[in-house]
A and B are shown apart, each in its own frame.
Chain A
Amino acid sequence: MMEDFWASFFPVLMIWFKCLVLLIMLPAMFGISLGITETYMKILIKTLEWATHRIQRASRAEEILKHSSSNGGLIQRDDSSLEQEIEELRRNRPKAAEQGDFTLSDVLYFTRKGIESIVEDDVTQRFTSEELVSWNLLTRTNNNFQYVSVRLTILWGVGVILRYCILLPLRVTLAGIGISWLVIGTTLVGFLPNCRVKGWLSELVHLMCYRICARSLSATIHYHKKQNRPKKGGICVANHTSPIDVVILANDGCYAMVGQVHGGLMGVIQRAMERSCPHIWFERAEMRDRHLVTQRLRDHVNDKTKLPILIFPEGTCVNNTSVMMFKKGSFEIGGTIYPLAIKYDPQFGDAFWNSSKYNMVSYLLRMMTSWAIVCNVWYMPPMTQEEGENAVQFANRVKSAIAQQGGLVDLAWDGALKRGRVKDSFKEQQQKMYSHMVVGDDSSD
C-alpha cells in the first residue's frame, strides 16, 4: 500500500518540482519576471480593498475615518518648550526675582508631559509592529477589528489555507534551494584563483541566490533613482527593519556584508560567502574594540577593487515608521556614504523583526505566511563629510535625508532603548533648563 502511494505521489512531486524550477527559479535567477507575482499582487490588492470597504461599511465608519486622519495618534501634543509653558503658568503672578522664581504651579508642566508620555510616547511604539489603519485579513494584525460578516470570515479562511498550505511549502522550498545554492555556488567560485572572472562569477552567484530568496518571500521591490547606485569603495547606510533588508538590497547590487560571526547555519553561509568575495565578519570580542573595527572597515573601503560595504547604523531593528539615532562609527571611516532608504508597505506583510518577541525561525515563518513583502528602495545621491562637521552631525544629516526620502519620522532617540535604559544626562538637561527658569542665568545677576 505504501509503495502504491509513493508510486503515485512521486510523479506529482516531480511535476511540482519541475514547475517550480521553470516558472520561478530560472526566471528569478536571470532577473526576468513571468508576471505570476504581478497577477497575484493585483488580485490581492483588489481583495484587500474590498475587505476594507466591507469593514468600513459594517462598523462605525466615522471612527475609522477619524482614526486614519489623525495618523493613529491618540492625543494631541503641544510643541511648545519648557520655557514657554512655565512662563504661561506663572503669568498670573507678580515676578519676585530676588530669591528665585518658583511657583507651586510649575509642577503642572512636568505632570502633564509625564502623563502624555504614559499615554503615548515617541519611542516605545517604534519597537512593536506598526498598527494598520485597516485590517489586511491576517489574524496577527487583528487588533481592534471585530467580527464583520460571513463573507469576510470566509475570505479570511481561504486566505489561511492559501497562505499556510500552498504558499508556505512553496516558499520554504525556494528558500532552501536559494540558500543551498548560495553555499554551493560561492564555495565553487572560491576554488578559482583571484581574477576578474572570479569577481564577476561571484557577483552572479550572489545575485541569483538573493533573487531566489526574494521570490521565496514573494517580495516585490521597487528600486528608485538607480542612477545613484553605490560604487566600489563606498559605504552604504540604510535604515534597519529586519534581517530581510539584506536580501532586499542585495537583489539589485552586490555588497560586502559587515557583521558578527555566527555559529550554525548562519556561520556556514558566512564562511561560504567569504570564499568567493571579501566580506567583513567580526568575532564578538573584536567588536568591542572600536579602533580595530574602524581600521578594518577603512582598509576595505580604501581597496577600490572591493565591493561597497553595507552597514545599518541604527544598530538594531526598528519598526519602519521612523529612523532612530545613527551610531557615529560608520561615519568616522572616511569615504563616500551612499544612503539608502527602505520603506515596507505594511498592508501585505509586516517585515519588522521584534527580536524580543520572536526568534529568527518564527520570524521567518511569519514572513513566509504573510501575503507578500512589498517595499520601496531609494538610492540617494552620495554624501560626504563637510568642513567643520563632526561625525555625529554628519550622521544626523544622513539620517534626516533618509527619513525624509522614505517618509519616516526622524528621531534622535537611540535604538538601543529597545533593551536598555535611557541615559541620566537627558534628565539632567531638563533639570538644568528648569533651574534657569528658577534662578535666571548667572550672568544676568
Chain B
Amino acid sequence: MGSRASSLLREEDIEEIKKETGFSHSQITRLYSRFHSLDKGENGALSREDFQRIPELAINPLGDRIINAFFPEGEDQVNFRGFMKTLARFRPVEDNEKNKGPPSGEPLNSRMNKLLFAFRLYDLDRDDKISRDELLQVLRMMVGVNISDEQLGSIADRTIQEADTNGDMCISFTEFTKVLEKVDVEQKMSIRFLH
C-alpha cells in the first residue's frame, strides 16, 4: 500500500529534521503534506510563485518579504529542509525542554532567532543595519498609498531617532533588540501547532 506524499520522505530525513528543528514526527509528516500540496511543479522544491498562490499570503502587505525569508541568498528554490528550518523559528519557546537544539547550540526558535527573523525583514541587503531607506521601504509596503512621502519620512526619522543609540543613523540588531525588549516576542512570533 504505497502512500503518496509521505513515501517520498524517508525516516532518516524525518529524524534529522526532528533533531535540527524540534518538530515532532507527526508535525513533520503533516508539514510535508503541506509542502507537497504547494509544490505544483512536483520537483521537490518550492518557488516564489508557489508561495504566491496562497491568497492570504498574496494579500499580506509584507507577503513578498516573508516569502523572501525562505530563500537562501541568491536562490529561487527552497527544498523541504529549508522550508522546515524557516518554519522552525516560529515554534513556541516552551517546547525547548524536549529538544537540545542543533549542535551549534542556539535553538532555531529562541527569542534571539525570532528577533533576527523580524530584523531581516527590514534589512534587505543583509548588512546588519536597518538604514532609513530600508525602513521606508517596509513602511511603504505596509501602508500602501494611504500616507504621503513626507509623513512617512518623518515617521521613519522619528523611529530611527528613538532607536539609534550610537548615532550612525541606522538601527543595528542590538538597538533593534533593545527597542523590542518589552514586547512579548516569544508569543507574537510563535505559531501554536496542534499535536
Contacts and interface: CB of A to CB of B under 8 A. Distances in A.
Nearest to B139: A102
A106 B122 CA distance: 12
Interface in B152-189: 154-155, 158-159, 163, 171, 176, 179-180, 182-183, 185, 188-189
Contacts of B34: 74, 119-120
A114 B63 contact: yes
B58 A421 contact: yes
A417 interface: yes
Given A107-B121, A110-B142, A438-B155, A426 B90 contact: no
B54 A121 contact: yes
B171 to A, nearest CB: 8
Interface in B118-166: 118, 121-122, 138-139, 142-147, 151, 154-155, 158-159, 163
A70 interface: yes
Q: Which of B60, B171, B176 has the most CB of A within 10 A?
A: B60
B194 A75 contact: yes
A422 B151 contact: no
A142 B144 contact: no
B62 A107 contact: yes
A265 to B, nearest CB: 30
Interface residues of B, number: 64
Given A143-B5, A431-B143, A74 B121 contact: no
Nearest to A418: B53
A104 B87 contact: no
Interface in B9-46: 26-27, 29-31, 33-34, 37-38
Nearest to A93: B182
A111 B189 contact: yes
Contact of A111 (B62, B87, B195): B62
Contact of A117 (B3, B56, B182): B56
A205 B30 CA distance: 49
B113 interface: no
* Most chain B CB neighbours (cut-off 10 Å) among A67, A104, A124: A104
Given A104-B159, A432-B144, A435-B146, A142 B2 contact: yes
A143 B2 CA distance: 9
Given A75-B194, A124-B38, A117 B57 contact: yes
B3 A145 contact: yes
A116 B138 contact: no
B121 A146 contact: no
A422 B59 contact: yes
Most-contacted residue by chain B among A74, A99, A103, A426 (CB, 10 A):
A74
Contacts of A431: 61, 142-146
Most buried by A among B55, B155, B180: B55
A156 B1 contact: yes
A63 interface: yes
B155 A146 contact: no
B57 A74 contact: no
Given A121-B55, A143-B3, A434 B139 contact: no
B159 A413 contact: no
Interface string A371-411: 00000000000000000000000000000000000000000
Given A102-B159, A111-B189, A153-B1, A434 B142 contact: yes
B63 to A, nearest CB: 6
Nearest to B190: A112
Interface residues of A, number: 64
Contacts of B3: 142-146
A73 interface: yes
Contacts of A109: 188
A63 B27 CA distance: 11
A337 B189 CA distance: 47
A22 interface: no
Nearest to B192: A76
A109 B188 CA distance: 7
B1 A89 contact: no
Contact of B194 (A73, A107, A439): A73
A145 B33 CA distance: 12
Given A124-B54, A435-B143, A67 B195 contact: yes
Contacts of A96: 158
A74 B60 contact: no
B80 to A, nearest CB: 13
A79 interface: no
A125 B37 CA distance: 9
B185 to A, nearest CB: 7
B1 A142 contact: yes
Interface of A: 63, 66-67, 70, 73-76, 88-89, 92-93, 96, 99-100, 102-125, 128, 139, 142-147, 153, 156, 413, 417, 421-422, 426-432, 434-435, 438-439
9 closest A-B pairs by beta carbon, nearest first, are A431-B144, A435-B146, A117-B56, A92-B182, A114-B66, A426-B59, A422-B55, A76-B192, A110-B62
9 contacts: A105-B180, A111-B121, A115-B191, A117-B56, A123-B54, A143-B5, A426-B55, A431-B142, A434-B142
Given A119-B34, A413-B55, 8 more contacts: A75-B191, A105-B180, A107-B62, A107-B138, A119-B191, A121-B55, A426-B55, A431-B144
